[in-house]
Chain A
Amino acid sequence: MDLDGVFRAEYGRCVATLTRFLGDIGLAEEAVQDAFATALEKWDEPPPNPGAWIVTTARNRAIDRLRRESTREARHAQALLLQQPDEPEDVGPVRDDQLRMIFTCCHPALAPSAQAALTLRLLGGLETAEIARAYLVPEATVAQRIVRAKKKIRDAGIPYRVPGHAELPDRLPPVLTVLYLVFNEGYAATSGELVRTDLCREAVRLARALADLMPDEPEVIGLLALLLLIEARRPARVGPDGELVVLGDQDRTLWDRALIAEGHELVRRCLRRGQPGPYQIQAAINAVHTDGTATDWTQVLALYDQLLQFVPTPVVALNRAVAVAEVHGPAAALAAVDDLDLPGYHLLPAVRADLLARLGRTADAVAAYDAAIALAANATERTFLETRRARLAPN
């Protein structure tokens, strides 16, 4: 029996629903974990609707537990629980529970590092150890972040609700940022380590759920499209020896056509809406990259110009310069990156190195590769830069 699979699929939903019943995330988690322990004893095979079974069992276990306690809070929670219907609920309220949970986990009053850990734990059902491995931090650090965040939610009175429409412009961006960062964290590791691939899938799954819950928010659709279009290219991004393969050199037959088709359809949906935003524009850029047999760089450059208006950061300017090189040549691109200030960011010297090499300024290019190699944290990326550098200066 695949209890792990059921756990991963149902944990978040069950905790979200129990949190509504109990008004406390910690109590909800205890109750759901109790129910899974019971399932381990009782199930030969999971029942047809394992989530409903877990919720009902968790609810009953929580009532038992609260009956043994005599505090005012416990009696209050028990009263709330007993008012809940016995029957499995409609899909609607359960979905709202998950949405409430996403917004609670990504509340701006929580530290960004805690938002991501809490989202993966409470919505993704990832174990603390898995989150720690994925973020390359000690398990105790993640555990502490999660405990602190849950304590703050309870003590500070962070509400368990979906923000009203007027609040969404402030409250939606952190949610999108968390999902994007979770994906990126998985994507930055090109070594093919299983757990980090899981992070990409988890981010896509959560973005899908969010798009399902908020189909009228163009940036939510844009984020999902962006993640799908990057995820589609992942199989081609690492070569047979684990080496990084850049976009222009990728074997396009390895791309996931179904994900690309879905991503393109979502981008078209965004375009029809005509309310552009940063995630939609990035999705459109990736749609151009995955359209036809080669990238139309003029279109990409136009989109980066638009993105720079929304997000005037040096990182966007650097990415735009890559498109400038393709459209107007490496000299124009070099001029565009010269003023960028991105201390510690290895891709700035890496892009400069590539531009310098294309201009025939080999010695400068080698020096720039050295600077990029010194800054690159990911071993696969470092190897890629070393290979590039070796081609310029074999000795």
Chain B
Amino acid sequence: MKTYLLAVQFDETTEWSEEEVAAQRAQVAKVNEEMTGTWVFLGGLLPSHASTVVRPAGGAVTVTDGPFAETKEQLGGFWVIRCADLDQALAWAEKCALACGAAIEVRPFEGAQWV
């Protein structure tokens, strides 16, 4: 078994209506239900306005407002899943992408604490 991160690449510049948000949440909830037994951890994130970066600098740290990069797409949420191989991970990612209406980056873990 391998462990993968399915990270939602969320375009924060797109406006969503309340109905669209509700529909997306319902679709994602359905996928989560279907993924029971496969996901280890999952969660949606608040937009990057709520993000703070702590950066090492000469033995101390600096704390700054905002995400690492000023890009349109930000991490919007993620699943951590356990499955046999990349093909299975990609099959789940397809469902997640369609449910979220956003791109999903599929990335294997190098190691994971609970393994």
A contacts, CB < 8 Å to B: 107, 109, 155-159, 161, 163, 167
Not counting A156-B108, A158-B85, a sample of 11 additional A-B residue pairs whose C-beta atoms are within 8 angstroms of each other reads A107-B86, A109-B86, A155-B108, A156-B106, A157-B2, A157-B4, A157-B84, A157-B85, A157-B89, A157-B108, A159-B85
- CB of B90 within 8 Å of the partner chain: yes
Q: Which residues of B contact A107 (CB under 8 A)?
A: 86
- List 18 A-B residue pairs with CB atoms under 8 Å apart, sorted by A's residue number: A109-B86, A109-B90, A155-B108, A156-B86, A157-B4, A157-B84, A157-B85, A157-B89, A157-B108, A158-B85, A158-B86, A158-B87, A159-B84, A159-B85, A159-B86, A161-B87, A163-B87, A167-B87
Minimum distance in angstroms from A76 CB to a CB of chain B: 14
B contacts, CB < 8 Å to A: 2, 4, 84-87, 89-90, 106, 108
* A163 CA to B85 CA, complexed, in Å: 13
* A158 CA to B85 CA, complexed, in Å: 6
* A167 CA to B90 CA, complexed, in Å: 12
A contact face: mostly helix, strand, loop, or mixed: loop
Minimum distance in angstroms from B92 CB to a CB of chain A: 13
Q: Which residues of B contact A157 (CB under 8 A)?
A: 2, 4, 84-86, 89, 108
Minimum distance in angstroms from A359 CB to a CB of chain B: 49
* A158 CA to B89 CA, complexed, in Å: 10
* A219 CA to B61 CA, complexed, in Å: 59
Minimum distance in angstroms from B104 CB to a CB of chain A: 13
Minimum distance in angstroms from B73 CB to a CB of chain A: 20
* A156 CA to B84 CA, complexed, in Å: 11
- List the 4 shortest-distance A-B pairs measured between CB atoms, nearest first: A159-B85, A157-B2, A157-B85, A157-B86
